[in-house]
């Protein structure tokens, strides 16, 4: 059951990337898309919190600070991920974001928590090769139409996701995962509020695409995180790291079959290299 829940969460994350791409193709600002994903997610976590506790207990200061850091990571991840989708495509964006465990390992390396090993050096080299193939820095012409901004945003999304993981794991040592997510997404809303156009927010809620915004929030934040947290309690860490690779595969297939996006053979090879290497690294970390 734990493995099934994690697979379902990763699948929903992948589909949410495809839904975001549809909304962006229809002319919606990536910031508005990010905002609605977070709003719906926050409402889901708040409802889960109330249903579980009946009251709203306040976490201690350490938990709040770590949760706030996780919220900043969520904000950066959502914004840069959707910007990358708008400037590149779903497959490139999600695969670049999936390099997050590499940045987590680098932080652990700089803090002395782990040692530099030949295996990690090889993993970094493998990921860099995969990124070069995926963005067609090698074996392609003109980045296959990809903009530098799209590639940079994808990498920034991965760094932001690593910040979220770091904050979430430390906050969860002091309080429940439900409280961490609720506080994190509240911080996300506080960060996003001054960045979005209120008129566009209202227009989105009254548009014919409102159902897609709701599905984006449910699949990309609300239900997926709930399934992921529940799955963590029932599955081994190694298994969780392994099946999380479902997300980039799902998002890439969505872009290929629904949106008509395509990748060159060397780009597919780069995506496979990144997914396999990062999954192996995440398993070793756990």
d(CA 258, CA 269): 21
Give the DSSP H/E element, type plus range, for residue 162: helix 148-171
Domain count, the chain: 1
Q: What is the mean pLDDT of the chain?
A: 83
pLDDT, tens digit, for every residue of 154-211? Answer: 999 999 988 998 888 889 888 888 888 989 999 999 999 999 999 999 999 999 999 9
More confident residue, 143 or 75: 75
Most confident of the following: 5-9, 78-82, 254-258: 78-82
pLDDT, tens digit, for every residue of 249-278? Answer: 788 888 878 777 777 788 888 888 888 887
Q: What is the pTM of this model?
A: 0.83
Question: Which residue from 135, 159, 50 is spatially nearest to 87, judged by alpha carbons?
Answer: 135
Secondary structure of 199-244 as H, E, C letters = HHHHHHHHCCCHHHHHHHHHHHHHHHHHHHHHHHCCCCHHHHHHHC
pLDDT, tens digit, for every residue of 227-242? Answer: 888 887 776 665 666 6
Give the model's confidence band at 136: pLDDT under 50 very low, under 70 low, under 90 confident, else very high.
low
Range(s) of the domain holding residue 87: 2-285
Give the model's confidence band at 57: pLDDT under 50 very low, under 70 low, under 90 confident, else very high.
low
pLDDT, tens digit, for every residue of 100-135? Answer: 777 877 777 787 777 777 877 887 788 888 877 777
d(CA 198, CA 193): 9
């Amino acid at each position: 059951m734990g493995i099934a829940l994690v697979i379902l969460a990763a699948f929903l994350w992948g589909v949410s990337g495809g839904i975001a791409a549809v909304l962006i193709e229809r002319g919606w600002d990536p910031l508005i898309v990010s905002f609605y994903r977070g709003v719906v997610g926050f409402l889901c976590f708040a409802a889960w919190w109330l249903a579980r506790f009946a009251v709203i207990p306040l976490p201690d200061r350490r938990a709040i600070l770590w949760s706030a850091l996780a919220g900043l990571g969520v904000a950066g991840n959502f914004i840069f991920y959707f910007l990358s989708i708008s400037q590149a495509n779903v497959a490139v964006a999600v695969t670049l974001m999936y390099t997050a465990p590499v940045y987590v390992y680098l932080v652990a390396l700089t803090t002395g928590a782990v040692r530099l090993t030949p295996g990690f050096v090889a993993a970094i080299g493998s990921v860099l090769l995969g990124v070069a193939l995926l963005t067609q820095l090698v074996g392609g012409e003109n980045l296959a139409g990809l903009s530098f901004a799209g590639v940079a945003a994808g990498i920034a999304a991965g760094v932001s996701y690593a910040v979220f993981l770091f904050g979430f794991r430390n906050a969860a040592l002091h309080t429940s995962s439900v409280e961490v997510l609720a506080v994190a997404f509240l911080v996300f809303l506080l960060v996003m509020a001054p960045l979005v156009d209120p008129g566009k927010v209202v227009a989105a809620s009254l548009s014919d695409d409102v159902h897609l915004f709701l599905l984006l929030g449910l699949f990309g934040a609300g239900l997926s995180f709930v399934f992921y947290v529940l799955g963590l309690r029932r599955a081994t860490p190694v298994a969780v790291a392994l099946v999380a690779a479902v997300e980039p595969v799902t998002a890439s297939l969505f872009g290929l079959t629904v949106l008509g996006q395509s990748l060159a053979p060397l780009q597919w090879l780069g995506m496979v290299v990144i997914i396999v290497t990062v999954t192996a690294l995440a398993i070793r970390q756990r």
